[in-house]
Chain A
Amino acid sequence: GAVVSQHPSWVICKSGTSVKIECRSLDFQATTMFWYRQFPKQSLMLMATSNEGSKATYEQGVEKDKFLINHASLTLSTLTVTSAHPEDSSFYICSASPLTPGLAGYTQYFGPGTRLTVL
Chain B
Amino acid sequence: QKEVEQNSGPLSVPEGAIASLNCTYSDRGSQSFFWYRQYSGKSPELIMFIYSNGDKEDGRFTAQLNKASQYVSLLIRDSQPSDSATYLCAVVKGNQFYFGTGTSLTVIP
B62 within 8 A of A: no
Decide if A102 touches B43 in the complex (CB within 8 Å).
no
Give per-residue flags for B67-93: 1 if the beta carbon is below 8 A from chain A beta carbons, else 0. Answer: 000000000000000000000101010
Question: Which of A14-22, A67-75, A80-88, A109-117 lies on the face that meets chain B?
Answer: A109-117
Residue from the list B32, B41, B42, B94 in contact with A107, Cβ < 8 A: B32
**Could you tell me the distance between the alpha carbons of A34 and B97 in the complex, rounded to whole angstroms?**
10
Interface of A: prevailing SS: loop
Decide if A106 touches B32 in the complex (CB within 8 Å).
yes
Residue from the list A43, A101, A106, A112 in contact with B43, Cβ < 8 A: A112
Decide if B43 touches A110 in the complex (CB within 8 Å).
yes
User: Contacts of B45 on A, CB cut-off 8 Å?
Assistant: 110
- Shortest B25–chain A CB gap in Å is 16
- What's the tally of chain A residues with a CB closer than 8 Å to chain B? 18
Within 8 A of A (CB), among B40-63: 41-46, 49, 51
Decide if B34 touches A107 in the complex (CB within 8 Å).
yes
Give per-residue flags for A86-109: 1 if the beta carbon is below 8 A from chain B beta carbons, else 0. Answer: 000001010000000110101111
User: Contacts of A46 on B, CB cut-off 8 Å?
Assistant: 99
Decide if A106 touches B44 in the complex (CB within 8 Å).
no
Give per-residue flags for A8-51: 1 if the beta carbon is below 8 A from chain B beta carbons, else 0. Answer: 00000000000000000000000010100000000110100000
B1 within 8 A of A: no
Residue from the list B42, B46, B94 in contact with A102, Cβ < 8 A: B94
User: Contacts of B88 on A, CB cut-off 8 Å?
Assistant: 43-44
**Could you tell me the distance between the alpha carbons of A106 and B99 in the complex, rounded to whole angstroms?**
14
Instruction: Output the nearest chain A residue to B92 by Cβ-Cβ distance.
Output: A106
Decide if B94 touches A101 in the complex (CB within 8 Å).
yes
Residue from the list B31, B44, B94 in contact with A110, Cβ < 8 A: B44
User: Contacts of B96 on A, CB cut-off 8 Å?
Assistant: 101
Decide if A93 touches B43 in the complex (CB within 8 Å).
yes
Given A91-B41, A104-B32, 18 more A-B residue pairs with CB atoms under 8 Å apart are A44-B44, A44-B88, A44-B99, A46-B99, A93-B43, A93-B44, A101-B94, A104-B31, A104-B51, A106-B32, A107-B32, A107-B34, A108-B34, A108-B97, A110-B36, A110-B43, A110-B45, A112-B42
